[in-house]
Amino acid sequence: MSADTPTLEKPAVVKRPFWRSIVAVSWSFIGIRKNSEFQEDLAHITPLHVLGVGLVGGLLFVIGLIVVVNLVVAK
């Protein structure tokens, strides 16, 4: 190969960990988050992950409330 021929290198694969989506949605349920961490999350997580985690988190919250109400009413 000559010196002026560019080499083809594969770009680094950016991982979008699902755990980071869970943490971001959990912080949003509580309502507190640093702006710098929020901006970093925007760069690393996908909207599909946020949507899925949000729906599951909301469902678990509602189920938890139903269980607590049933425990209180049963006594």
pLDDT of residue 8: 64
CA 12 vs CA 9, 24, 30, 43, 46: distances in Å: 9, 24, 34, 15, 17
Q: Would you say residue 9 lies in a domain?
A: no
pLDDT of residue 7: 66
Q: Would you say residue 1 lies in a domain?
A: no
Q: Would you say residue 31 lies in a domain?
A: yes
pLDDT of residue 54: 92
Q: How many domains does the chain have?
A: 1
pLDDT of residue 69: 96
Q: Would you say residue 60 lies in a domain?
A: yes
The reply to whether the predicted model has a pTM over 0.85 is no
Q: Would you say residue 4 lies in a domain?
A: no
Range of the domain at 60: 18-74
Q: Would you say residue 8 lies in a domain?
A: no
- pLDDT tens figures, 1-57: 555 666 666 655 556 578 888 888 888 888 888 888 888 887 888 889 889 999 999
